Amino acid sequence: MLQSKHLPNLFLIPIDAAVELWLLSLVYERALQWPAYSRWRPWVAGAFVLVAALSGWLLPDPAHFQPALMVGESLLVLLLPGLYFRKLLNELHVRNLARDAMFWVSTGLLLYFLGKLLIGLFSNYLLAHYSKELNLWVWFVHAVLLFVLHSCYLRALWLRPQK
C-alpha cells in the first residue's frame, strides 16, 4: 500500500525493532529460566521499546534511514543467543544439539543479527561513499541472512517438542 503511494516505510523500523526484541526476550525468558534474567528483562526490553518509540516520534525526517536503532537492537538481541549458548555450555544437559529447537533459533538469530549489525554500522557510509549498486548488494546480503534466519526458525518448528 505504501509503495503504490510512493511513501517510505522507514517509519515502521522502530515498531518492528521494539516488537521483535520484546517477543524474543519473552521466548528466551522461558528458555533460560534464570531469575536474574526474569527480573531485568522487563526493564531492558521496556527501555528499548521507549527508545524505539521516541526515535520514531522525535526524529525530524522519518524518510531518512537511521541505523542507530538497528545497531542497538542487534546488540541487545545478540545477548540473547549468547546467554543461551552460555547456559548450554555450563549445564551440558542437551544430548543432541541438532534436536534442540532453541539451538536452531539461537543460531539463526546469531547469524542474522551479526550481519544486521555490520549492515547497520556501515550502510550510511557505503551509501555516501560508494555506488548505489553496492548498497543494493548489501541489502541483497541482508535478504540472504533473513532467509537463513527463517530457515533456522523452520528447522526449529519442524522438531518435536522434547518431554
Taking only the tens place, the pLDDT of each residue in 60-105 is 565 567 788 889 999 999 999 999 999 999 988 888 888 889 999 9
Q: Is residue 68 part of a domain?
A: yes
Q: Is residue 5 part of a domain?
A: no
Q: Is residue 42 part of a domain?
A: yes
Number of domains in the chain: 1
CA distance 108 to 96: 17
The residue assigned the cell 554500522 is 121
Q: What range defines the domain where residue 91 resides?
A: 10-158
For 7-26, what is each residue's pLDDT tens digit?
A: 677 778 888 888 999 999 99
**With bands split at pLDDT 50, 70 and 90, how would you rate the model's confidence at 116?**
very high
Q: Is residue 98 part of a domain?
A: yes
Give the best-scoring range by mean pLDDT among 41-50, 64-73, 121-130: 41-50
Q: Is residue 2 part of a domain?
A: no
Q: What angle do CA 23, 80, 103 make, to 5 degrees?
A: 95
Q: Is residue 86 part of a domain?
A: yes
Q: Is residue 130 part of a domain?
A: yes
Q: Is residue 1 part of a domain?
A: no
